[in-house]
Structure 1
């Protein structure tokens, strides 16, 4: 595996253990915009903080991890930044924080991030991982009323199904019904949220009309409800920590 160019937007650090990462955040968590951490792959034979350790320390200080990308045959690179005010929580991180609280490891900044999430409802809406997420009652009812959408949903891959369920689970109470309506509309049209819409096949006698119309209008209009769903950017199959094998990407 050849080395990939390293990002330059944030500093890159290598920490031999969780102790050094904790010391860094103790100094920098309130002022640093973020950083990248190089995590050694298991096959590298190099001493390095593990992905799980890095996430735990980050949560203690109100930071969160991003997607893991392979650098070369020995290293992963993961972006860590302060958690944003509207950042959604995973159930896995909620459970991890509960343990960190019991162990007395949470710092004021981490506690503040948790309190903010509890105050605005993000804590209660923490999303499940691919192995535990389930089909909600309201989505079940909506799909039951739309046989075409339901049939298409049943044929989706695991990752595509997770994308749909994740979007429903992370919706706020105010937007949940509209999001479900928009998702069902997309599924009925043979499309998956977050995936490019499939091209429509027109009868031959209508193709010429379509070409003429395309020349007059270069902007394709889509329903506002569909745009709302597409605009959402989930980290499907999230809460990864260290990827299982080279080539897989992770996100947290």
Structure 2
């Protein structure tokens, strides 16, 4: 679809941003001498409604089409997008749908940073004790990465030392017995906690 002006594209987004799954926007190359919405104008309007540009396809020497879709939750924002986002916000052009997309991206980023900063290793003293129990350690090391990471987090995330120690001793005892800790026995095999920005639920400690 070719739009003569930026406002025409905005009108389309206003009417269809929450129902359409995609739109291929037609763009003229500068050398064509033809007028119409520019790539930057299209991207700015898409940002205002929580949409994002994707792949482009050449039509001929003068025209191409650019795919636009609603932004998926968890998708990364590039530096140019962050810059453009700030500009359209300052101008007061952002639709509520766009503001919601901005807020989701902020929350996703905060969750990722929170996950990256969480403990992935046992305290050195705990680690030494765990390794000393060869049977328990071998069982633990034979488990999937997501299980080791999550079990470690459950131990080290406790606020009180006595809670950490109790969870650690349970982990060692269960490992020595050849079984996973109770909290993770029902976890699906395909789960990959280390790839989840949210991570497992925090237990009180």
Please, what TM-score do these two structures have when normalized by structure 1? Answer: 0.44
Structure number with bigger Rg: 2
Structure 1 runs (4+) deviating above 4 angstroms are 122-125
Report the counterpart of residue 51 of structure 2 in structure 1: 63
SS at match of 2:116: coil
Report the counterpart of residue 39 of structure 2 in structure 1: 51
Report the counterpart of residue 95 of structure 2 in structure 1: 107
> What RMSD, in angstroms, separates the aligned Cα atoms of the two structures?
2.7
SS at match of 1:121: helix
Matched, 1:87 2:75: yes
Could you say if the C-alpha distance between residues 33 and 173 of structure 1 is closer, same or farther in structure 2, counting changes exceeding 3 Å? same
Q: How many residues align structurally?
A: 120
2:86 to 98, 105, 129: 98
Describe how 1:1-252 pairs up with structure 2 within 5 A.
13-121=1-109, 173=116
Greater relative contact order structure (CA < 8 Å, 6+ sep): 1
C-alpha distance in structure 2 between counterparts of 1:124 and 1:71, whole Å: 40
**How much does 1:120 deviate?**
1.4
Unaligned 5+ residue runs, structure 1? 1-12, 126-171, 178-252
C-alpha distance in structure 2 between counterparts of 1:59 and 1:34, whole Å: 14
Unaligned 5+ residue runs, structure 2? 121-205
Report the counterpart of residue 140 of structure 1 in structure 2: none
More helix, by proportion: 2
C-alpha distance in structure 2 between counterparts of 1:106 and 1:16, whole Å: 21
Please, what TM-score do these two structures have when normalized by structure 2? Answer: 0.54
Could you say if the C-alpha distance between residues 89 and 123 of structure 1 is closer, same or farther in structure 2, counting changes exceeding 3 Å? farther
For the 8 Å contact 1:68–1:78, the answer to whether it is kept is yes
C-alpha distance in structure 2 between counterparts of 1:96 and 1:58, whole Å: 11
C-alpha distance in structure 1 between counterparts of 2:111 and 2:61, whole Å: 37
